Amino acid sequence: MIDSAPLDAKEASELRQKFYNATIIERIDAHDELARFRIRPDNPIPPFKPGQYVAIGLGNWEPRLPGTQEEVVPEKRLRKLSRRAYSISCPLLDDQDQVAPVDSIDYLEFYITLVRSADSPEKKPPVLTPRLFQLKAGDRIEVQKKITGQYVLENYEPDHTILMLGTGTGEAPHNAMSAMLLAANHRGRVINVTSVRRRADLAYAVEHAKLMKRYPQYRYLPFTTRDPENLDPKHPQYVGKQYLQDLFTSGQLAEAAGDDLSPDHTHVFLCGNPAMIGYVPPGGEAPTRPGMLPILREAGFADEHDAHGPGTIRFEKYW
């Protein structure tokens, strides 16, 4: 077993030339652990649907960000790549502040959180993001050729409500969907809801605010769980922890959206934290705090394999 970055500069450069096929053209940091990476592949991007994903990769020989969990790479893996799939986001607006769907740009945008260490001792150290967050504009990377995924907009009508519920970077595919719907002049409500720990984790807040001014049918609804007003009952604006499940069942979400969110005309998309989604595999034990899936089913919605059109739930699994 050897150190994770012992290659000399010449060999590392040769491996990059051999494997990498894309360039980071811009990195936009929300803070030290959250960033938007714009990556332009060397070859034209094949057509794809908003909501789909693609894998990106970096060599195991690349250095890791200081302060992240140490990793020991076996000799047989040292000169290979590690990859992870990410949903494709989008800039939402172009340089002229016009809505920018994914088919209007020549790069791929990813919304990524730095994972500093594994969440339990028995798990392997995170491989990709400690290396990715070392990179800057101009650095090279690998993007896999195949863009895929079934988490896409389907079977909706121009007047239907599209409700997207995400946590953290689970907002990414919803941004791509929102931009496409707005660019196509979708008449129904487009409601992009996200729950994050802190306001500092809202990396697209400026763009969403501009879109809401331009498109009256668009709502971006951000909620937090760990800012002072979530934790301190003495705070003048105290609201408690704002979980999407509670907001939906209390009616607060419908009120904020300006829509009754009825299954008669609403499509629902869920992406992010498994606890929020609430998927329980066959034979699994239901959690004490239900996720959105059982709540939505109780409200008259149905999973995509049981329904088509309004009243359908689609969810993306990140686990």
What is the per-residue DSSP string for 250-271?
A: HTHHHHHHTS---TTTEEEEEE
Domains 2-143 and 161-316 share a fold: no
CATH code, 161-316? 3.40.50.80
Per-residue pLDDT of the chain (319 residues; tens, 9 = 90+): 344 447 999 999 999 999 999 999 999 999 999 999 999 999 999 999 999 999 999 999 999 999 999 999 999 999 999 999 999 999 999 999 999 999 999 999 999 999 999 988 889 999 999 999 999 999 999 999 999 999 999 999 999 999 999 999 999 999 999 999 999 999 999 999 999 999 999 999 999 999 999 999 999 999 999 999 999 999 999 999 999 999 999 999 999 999 999 999 999 999 999 999 998 877 777 778 899 999 999 999 999 888 889 999 999 865 4
Residue 204 and residue 171 in contact, taking contact as beta carbons nearer than 8 Å: yes
The two tokens of residue 99 are: 């809505």
Domain ranges of the chain: 2-143, 161-316
- Distance separating alpha carbons of residues 48 and 82, to the nearest angstrom: 23
On the CB side of 62, how many CA atoms lie within 13 Å of its CA? Answer: 27
Q: How many CB atoms lie within 10 A of CB 56?
A: 22
pTM of the model: 0.95
Q: Which class would CATH give 2-143?
A: mainly beta
| Alpha helix segments (H runs only) across the chain | 9-19, 75-78, 129-132, 172-183, 205-214, 228-231, 244-250, 252-257, 274-277, 292-298
Look up tokens 């809505």; give the residue: 99
pLDDT, residue 1, reads 36
